Amino acid sequence: MAFRFVHTADIHLDSPLRSLALRNSELADLIGDASRQAFSSIVDLCLAERVDALVIAGDLYDGDQTSMKTARFLASQMTRLHQAGVRVYMIRGNHDAMSRISKQLVLPDTVTIFGGRAQAVVQSGAGVDVVFHGLSFANPKAPESLLPKYAGPQEGAANVGIMHTSLAGSPGHDSYAPCSVADLHRHGFEYWALGHIHVRQVYFGASTLVMPGIPQGRDINEAGEKSVTLVTVGDDRSVDIEERLTSVAQFERISIDLTGISEWADAVARIRTTLEQSRAAAKSRCVVARLGLVGTSTLSWRMIRDRDLMLAEAQQAAEQVGNTWVEKVELNLTAPDIGSFGDGADPTLELAQSMRANAGSEAFRSDAREFVLKTIADLPPDARGFAGKDEAGLEQFLDDVLARGIDLVAASLKTGGTR
């Protein structure tokens, strides 16, 4: 009879969502509770599939949390698993190492929390014994590989390693316990239950390596459906994996082309249609969208000026779709070329074109570059990165700022500065 377990990581239970709270407190409440709902769904999955164990590969908590509500919630979920005979194997990741709850909370004896020294715990199954190897972060930082601290595989059993690691590195993630996929394959375990990187990654080879990703996204940088991994270890120690959805709300970047649309109502109608399509395609209960309005439209400058009104229109459309939110609207629209208007060219378009031509001159860019560099020099060191990290980044920053400035001036002139 096969041995089965669910593998998850990076739950970041009750992670604070400061940026969302500043913009929309109701949306912040929805996403703020989503990590709990996702964890509850993970426990539900364990019970429904009658698995033998739940593996949590680090960062169950989110930093230095002290909330007793978080502690009570976690204790109740662990009790559900305990009563069903599902064992839990946890390691502490970099965020758990900062959490007071992780060191104070008393959990059922069916929960194993690996310490700062590598351990191996055997769980006997009906057809195969499974050895879980784990090692927790003792401190928030782990600059060196932890792999040499893990014992080798135990013969005659299926070996599962649990590790919190950045592997060879990933954009947006600091380096923690770095190691290579090749080294993990060579170690001889049947399965590596990894954590830390919030994007799902699977590596097949001598071992099966899975980074399940975060089970519930927290912002637009963690977009898409999120999941956990259901692992089946056969009597012959073969490994089979299944991805199972857990996200309650999924963030999505949605691009909407408004080329050729000249009426505000038509733009809103296209936004609503696109939101309906995205809602229908999403498997999670809720969709939180960031809209990118692109293309060439005579509405471009009006939308720049009335961005807040367009956001309100988009949010209302999302509300009508149901279980859908719009957290931000980004504009990347351009006005039609002067030539498309014939002899009756719009004077605002002509002025904008003239300003763009002047902004492209080296004399103008030189003045703008000097101003930006002087501003950067007057700022504290930790606030100087807004204009890029090198010369190429600075030039891109100038391009963006000059383009936005011209559009803002044109938008104000186009409408006479009134609403």
**pLDDT band (50, 70, 90) for residue 417:** very low
**pLDDT band (50, 70, 90) for residue 391:** confident
Looking at the chain, how many residues does it have? 419
Helix (H) or strand (E) holding 365: helix 362-377
Q: Of all residues in the chain, what percent carry a pLDDT higher than 70? A: 81
Beta-strand runs (E) in 183-323: 191-195, 201-204, 208-211, 227-233, 239-245, 249-257, 286-296
DSSP 151: P
**pLDDT band (50, 70, 90) for residue 414:** low
Per-residue model confidence (pLDDT) at position 237: 95
Per-residue model confidence (pLDDT) at position 2: 92
Q: How many CB atoms lie within 10 A of CB 103?
A: 10
Interval 133-148 mean pLDDT: 83
Interval 5-30 mean pLDDT: 78
- Mean model confidence pLDDT for the chain: 85
3-state SS assignment for residue 308: helix
**Confidence check: pLDDT of 174 > 70:** no
CB of 132 closer than 8 Å to CB of 110: no
**Confidence check: pLDDT of 418 > 50:** no
Query: Using a CB cutoff of 8 Å and minimum separation of 24, what contacts does 145-149 make?
Result: 145/177, 145/178, 145/179, 145/183, 146/118, 146/177, 146/179, 147/179, 147/183, 147/184, 147/187, 149/117, 149/118
CB of 113 closer than 8 Å to CB of 132: no
Interval 245-271 mean pLDDT: 96
**Distance (Å, whole) CA 53 – CA 7:** 9
Q: Of all residues in the chain, what percent carry a pLDDT higher than 90? A: 57
pLDDT in tens, 207-229: 999 999 999 998 899 999 999 99
pLDDT in tens, 34-59: 899 999 999 999 999 999 999 999 99
Per-residue model confidence (pLDDT) at position 396: 80
**Confidence check: pLDDT of 96 > 80:** no
Nearest Cα to 32, choosing from 2, 67, 56? 67
Interval 225-247 mean pLDDT: 97
**pLDDT band (50, 70, 90) for residue 318:** very high
371 vs 22: which has the higher pLDDT:
371
Interval 410-414 mean pLDDT: 61
Interval 300-328 mean pLDDT: 92
Give CATH for domain 3-245. 3.60.21.10
Per-residue model confidence (pLDDT) at position 371: 80
Beta-carbon contacts of 156 under 8 Å, excluding residues fewer than 6 positions away, are 129
**pLDDT band (50, 70, 90) for residue 100:** low
Interval 296-320 mean pLDDT: 92
Question: Lowest mean pLDDT: which of 172-186, 282-296, 400-414?
Answer: 400-414
96 vs 190: which has the higher pLDDT:
190
Question: Lowest mean pLDDT: which of 220-234, 255-269, 381-395?
Answer: 381-395
**Confidence check: pLDDT of 378 > 50:** yes
**Confidence check: pLDDT of 99 > 80:** no
Nearest Cα to 209, choosing from 183, 185, 242, 180? 185
Q: Give the count of alpha carbons within 13 A of 161, CB side only.
A: 29
**In this structure, what token pair is assigned to residue 310?**
């367009």
Per-residue model confidence (pLDDT) at position 125: 76
Instruction: Name the pTM for this structure.
Output: 0.80
Per-residue model confidence (pLDDT) at position 419: 42
**pLDDT band (50, 70, 90) for residue 62:** confident
Per-residue model confidence (pLDDT) at position 189: 98
Name the residue ranges covered by the structural domains of the chain: 3-245, 249-414
Bridge partner list, 130 = 123, 158
Per-residue model confidence (pLDDT) at position 320: 96
Write the CA distances from 27 to 66, 319, 323, integer angstroms: 23, 12, 11
